């Protein structure tokens, strides 16, 4: 395993020092102080969303939550460079990307509460609903990009996936197609070092970025905890795609500081020392230091960011716990686009089943709603659990 600082592009050191890079500097020359402050705020806010959602899971308000702690720069830095007409295909951990795309806070947690099969309309914001199946979204992204080609537009499709996904057939197939058709797609791989409990070194003898050239896809290996490097690399890739020069593979080297999901205990498989090492490379801390060195990290600024983060957390919590339970029969909606006899019959049977409680307990309507909503809750819980099993 090759893993030293010199292996990747870094524009901002963990100490908050801006380091020159002839090839990359031009791509972030427009990032001025206000923009840097705004990037910082976004990272703090999504970290707050993460901790609030984790707390909500522990309080029984969410079935599950996949924290992105430590990957803020990789997600914010890349998502903030996209255009509105670009289209994003993510896995389940890209909640910061969703935040940047403008997904409503309540919509972000809707699925994790088991309240809905999906949280938003992908076409409204140019972001597909998260793929639970590892790596599947890279194929969707490549297909979408080929569609853009056919339409003759210069929109780009971006696939987000992790280090573990690179071992999946889907990702390799997507790379083959993207290269063969010169599709305008960006493969944004967040190498967070752990595929649940499997360290990246087990499945990648060489850096992941080295694989892409074999498919005919140029690649970059960047410090994923450096928001400037992430922005620069993403812009290079987007420009290449928009100008008809095909796909790019970006390996953003970052670290999942939290558990795989709220159901995971990383202390069982990784050393505390490794976590400490990465805490020193925190993506937010280095921007804080840079802002400080520029004299921008004032008490007033900090208070403003904190207020924003707290407000977002409060809004998230409020939206979560006031989310109405879904109607029991809504579980049959959105299964098929066309009528289906088997499903129709199941729905009729279930309707009759629910009605049997009303017939039984006509005098006690309270119990009826109780029983019905319990059933709905369990139906949804099952779908979340089944999905989670494949994470």
Partner 1 sequence: MLKVFALPDLGEGLTESEIVAWHVKPGDPVELNQHIADVETAKAVVELPSPFTGVVTELYQQPGVVVHVGEPIVSFEVEDASAIGDDAAGEGDATPVESQVTTDAAKPAVREAVLVGYGAAAERGGRPKRRPRPARVDPAASAEPASPAKRASSIAPDSSERRSEPVEVATAERPRSTPPVRALARDLGIELVTVTGTGPDGLITRDDVRAQASGEGQGAAHEQTAPAASVVSASPGERETRSPIKSLRKLTAAAMVQSAFTAPHVTEFLTVDVTPTIELLGTLKGDKAFDGVRINILTIIAKALCIAVRRNPSLNTRWDEAAGEIVQFNYVNLGIAAATPRGLIVPNIKDADALGFAEIAAELSALTEAARAGTTSQSALAGGTISITNIGVFGIDAGTPILNPGEAAILAMGAIRRLPWEYRGEIALRDVMTLSLSFDHRLVDGEQGSRFLADIGAILANPGRVLMMV
Catalytic residue numbers? 256, 260, 269
Q: Are 161 and 173 in contact (CB under 8 A)?
A: no
Residues contacting 290, CB < 8 A, separation 6+: 12, 16, 17, 18, 36
| DSSP secondary structure code for residue 337 in this structure | S
Rounded to whole angstroms, the maximal C-alpha distance in the chain is: 78
Question: How many alpha carbons lie under 13 Å from residue 202 in its C-beta half-sphere?
Answer: 8
Enumerate the β-bridge partners of residue 198.
195
Only one of the segments 33-41, 95-103, 301-309, 376-384 lies at the binding site for partner 1 (rule: CB under 8 A); that segment is 376-384
Provide CB contacts within 8 A for 204, sequence distance 6+: 1, 163, 166
Q: Which of 314, 329, 335, 355 binds partner 1 (CB under 8 A)?
A: 314
- Shortest Å distance, C-beta 179 to partner 1: 37
| Residue 259 within binding range of partner 1, rule CB under 8 A | yes
- Does residue 336 interact with partner 1 by CB under 8 A? no
Number of residues that bind partner 1 (CB under 8 A): 54
In the set 4, 150, 389, 390, which binds partner 1 (CB under 8 A)? 389
Please say whether the beta carbons of 200 and 191 come within 8 A.
yes
Nearer of residues 285 and 323 to partner 1, judged by Cβ: 323
Residues 6 or more apart in contact with residue 353 via CB below 8 angstroms = none
If one asks whether residue 106 binds partner 1 (CB under 8 A), the answer comes out as no
Contacting range for partner 1; rule: CB under 8 A; set: 165-173, 249-257, 285-293, 317-325: 317-325
**269 scored as a contact of partner 1 (CB under 8 A):** yes
Shortest Å distance, C-beta 186 to partner 1: 32
Q: Count the residues in the chain.
A: 391
Residue 83 as a binder of partner 1 (CB under 8 A): the answer is no
d(CA 359, CA 75): 53
The C-alpha atoms of residue 114 and residue 63 are separated, in whole angstroms, by 7
Q: What is the DSSP letter of 209?
A: G
Binding mask 35-74 for partner 1 (x = CB under 8 A): ----------------xx--x-xxxxxxxx----------
Is residue 341 close enough to count as binding partner 1 by CB under 8 A?
yes
Interacting residues with partner 1 between 114 and 143 (CB under 8 A)? 114-115
Angstrom distance (rounded) from CA 255 to CA 69: 8
Does residue 351 bind partner 1 (CB under 8 A)?
no
In 3D space, the residue among 188, 185, 196, 195 whose CA is nearest the CA of residue 76 turns out to be 188
Q: Is 272 in the site for partner 1 (CB under 8 A)?
A: yes
Residue 81 lies near partner 1 (rule: CB under 8 A): no
The residues of the shown chain that bind partner 1, judged by CB under 8 A, are: 51-52, 55, 57-64, 113-115, 259, 261-265, 267-269, 271-272, 314, 317-318, 321-325, 341-342, 344-345, 357, 360, 369-371, 373-375, 377-378, 380-382, 384-385, 388-389
């Amino acid at each position: 395993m090759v893993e030293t600082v010199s292996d990747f592009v870094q524009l901002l050191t963990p100490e908050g020092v801006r380091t020159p890079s002839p090839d990359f500097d031009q791509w972030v020359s427009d990032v001025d102080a206000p923009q840097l402050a705004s990037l910082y705020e976004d990272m703090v806010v999504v970290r707050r969303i993460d901790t609030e959602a984790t707390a909500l899971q522990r309080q029984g308000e969410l079935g599950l939550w996949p924290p992105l702690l430590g990957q803020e720069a990789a997600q914010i830095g890349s998502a903030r460079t996209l255009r509105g007409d670009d289209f994003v295909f993510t896995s389940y951990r890209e909640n910061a990307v969703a935040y940047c795309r403008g997904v409503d806070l309540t919509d972000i947690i809707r699925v994790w509460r088991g309240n809905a099969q999906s949280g938003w309309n992908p076409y409204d914001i140019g972001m597909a609903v998260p793929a639970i199946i590892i790596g599947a979204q890279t194929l969707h992204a490549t297909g979408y990009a080929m569609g853009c080609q056919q339409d003759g537009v210069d929109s780009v499709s971006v696939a987000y996936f992790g280090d573990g996904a690179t071992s999946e057939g889907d990702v390799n197939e997507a790379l083959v197609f993207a290269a063969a058709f010169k599709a305008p797609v960006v493969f944004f791989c967040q190498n967070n070092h752990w595929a649940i409990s499997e360290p990246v070194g087990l499945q990648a003898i060489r850096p992941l970025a080295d694989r892409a050239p074999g498919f005919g896809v140029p690649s970059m290996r960047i410090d994923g905890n450096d928001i400037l490097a992430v922005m620069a690399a993403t812009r290079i890739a987007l420009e290449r795609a928009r100008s008809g020069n095909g796909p790019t593979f970006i390996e953003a080297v970052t670290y999942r500081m939290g558990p795989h999901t709220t159901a995971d205990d990383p202390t069982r498989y990784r050393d505390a020392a490794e976590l400490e090492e990465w805490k020193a490379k925190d993506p937010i801390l280095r921007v804080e230091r840079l802002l400080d060195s520029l004299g921008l990290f004032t008490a007033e600024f900090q208070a403003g960011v904190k207020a924003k983060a707290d407000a977002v957390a409060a809004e998230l919590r409020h939206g979560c716990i006031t989310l109405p339970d879904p109607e029991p029969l809504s579980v049959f909606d959105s299964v098929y686009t066309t009528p289906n006899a088997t499903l129709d019959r199941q729905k009729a049977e279930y309707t009759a089943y629910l009605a049997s409680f009303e017939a039984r307990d006509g005098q006690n309507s309270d119990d009826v709603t109780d029983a019905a909503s319990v059933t709905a809750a369990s139906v949804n819980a099952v779908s979340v659990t089944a999905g989670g099993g494949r994470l």
